[in-house]
Structure 1
């Protein structure tokens, strides 16, 4: 959190420091001009008495730009910037268009800071569901804020590091991080712990990134989050046909839920994935409540999971 507090205006960092140990559970910080400072912890929003000012917003954007708006120009077009520590700061305000395309954002009125959580060891208990003589293709299913990205990060670390005591050697991992959320890169360099054999394409569209990795980096496993386009699905099938394992996340309540989505349904019918891990919100991120095989049959359950 030191990286985050260091980028905030003193008026805001002072308010957050008053939270003490609670700050360690904060998932999002929403800063809105002339409205109460909001923090989200364990999925529950809390509002502080402090009301951020226009001066707070100006100071924050200046710090994010390192006092150079030219340096922040591309990030402003995307609507977010990733800072040291892997935290992502989204913006809202007056949008400037050029030829129908977003050119920049001016008069910033809102910021959403998403805290990058790194929970080393989260994926360890599920090694048997992820590895069976080789790394299996796995889809991580969960609603927002169930810890999908946290879980995905730890799977990448596990694969890249290997498990010597189990005779599992480190494997090459390629991450396509379209929204700079998985690796939290700053200037292309991952800010989190991934082990020695990870290569990241930061801010790269998934379909193009998967093909680039296949052609140039010879990964054993490709990791992506949230496919949503036909070309994404085509790239996944290309990777599978090339003998590369895939680990990806998708929004959904469970296996039945994602089966209703046309793009995912095609992938499921091809049996491209060996395992499906369903997550739910709990006391920790990445709480797996069910593991399913390629046909969707439950092969392992967690606490409170119905087999229906």
Structure 2
């Protein structure tokens, strides 16, 4: 499987020639760091571009070293040669490409009054390849769906790069469209997409299929976004990614008290891991969530390890 033209054409001409013929499935990231090897990450492994064989290699002896010019030209192309037009995105540390692919940006942060106003002297770019895997949520939908119009509030616990965003996206699609398989009619979903990873919106248009009844707030803090949709969009279900603060949890309780269903994710390795973290101590309250879905990458990203029912206090395997 080759990388999309949108990703290839976002690279400097030099890098474009090297990357365009790469054929490797499950490419997740392209890492550019000044004066460091070009790294292609896939299947949780790093590969280097071998300048002698013009192919990917696990050995870095003949790896291509990214230049300052590679970074500068790629950054200009991503910004369509108008950095000022993308300043709001640059301040947040990433730019979303057509197709939903996200480019992370780091360098010298210009901070004024406690807020990042610009990032200069770009030293690294991380192109995260966005992938849509429809029906990957089939193993969990029967646990999430409670009735033809109701859900069990659910939280996904996952370490980084284990497919939680891909799984969450497919859950949103199923809840929004409805599912004959589970006799679910489809409901209004409000998606608070703070990092623009779930819908991958480009110029306000979702690049991923998140369903016909989904309303999206992108690049907005989760607690603020939740309150906005509760006041204006009358959602049946609110979905967020990567809950992590007491403000986020307070906003979830507000939605719950308004009779709204909840689906969210959190970084972690286990239920005990979440319960032992001070800022998340109330997250696994059985009044807030019913089902806990545990992910890993043991059999590749998206491996569903187990499902726990917080009210019944019992484990279920996904199948």
TM-score range, shorter chain: over 0.9
Does 2:132 correspond to 1:118?
Answer: yes
The SS at the match of 1:188 is coil
Q: Do the aligned partners of 1:96 and 1:105 also contact (CA within 8 Å) in 2? A: yes
CA distance change for structure 1 residues 219 and 302 in 2, over 3 Å: closer, same or farther? closer
What is the TM-score of this pair, normalised by structure 1?
A: 0.92
Partner of residue 3, structure 1: 6
The SS at the match of 1:185 is coil
Bigger fraction of residues in helix: 1
What is the TM-score of this pair, normalised by structure 2?
A: 0.89
Does 2:54 correspond to 1:38?
Answer: no
User: How is 1:1-308 mapped onto 2 (pairs within 5 angstroms)?
Assistant: 1-20=4-23, 22=24, 24-48=25-49, 49-133=63-147, 134-295=150-311, 297-301=313-317
CA distance in 1, matches of 2:246, 2:79: 35
CA distance change for structure 1 residues 297 and 100 in 2, over 3 Å: closer, same or farther? closer
Q: Do the aligned partners of 1:233 and 1:263 also contact (CA within 8 Å) in 2? A: no
Q: Do the aligned partners of 2:243 and 2:266 also contact (CA within 8 Å) in 1? A: yes
CA distance in 2, matches of 1:298, 1:27: 34
Q: Do the aligned partners of 1:150 and 1:285 also contact (CA within 8 Å) in 2? A: no
5+ residue gaps, structure 2, are 50-62
CA distance in 2, matches of 1:296, 1:150: 28
Q: Do the aligned partners of 1:255 and 1:296 also contact (CA within 8 Å) in 2? A: no
The SS at the match of 1:269 is coil
Between Structure 1 and Structure 2, how many residues are aligned?
301
Shift of 1:162: 0.7
CA distance change for structure 1 residues 199 and 32 in 2, over 3 Å: closer, same or farther? same
State the Cα RMSD in Å.
Answer: 1.7
CA distance change for structure 1 residues 277 and 165 in 2, over 3 Å: closer, same or farther? closer
Q: Do the aligned partners of 1:85 and 1:184 also contact (CA within 8 Å) in 2? A: yes
The SS at the match of 2:85 is coil
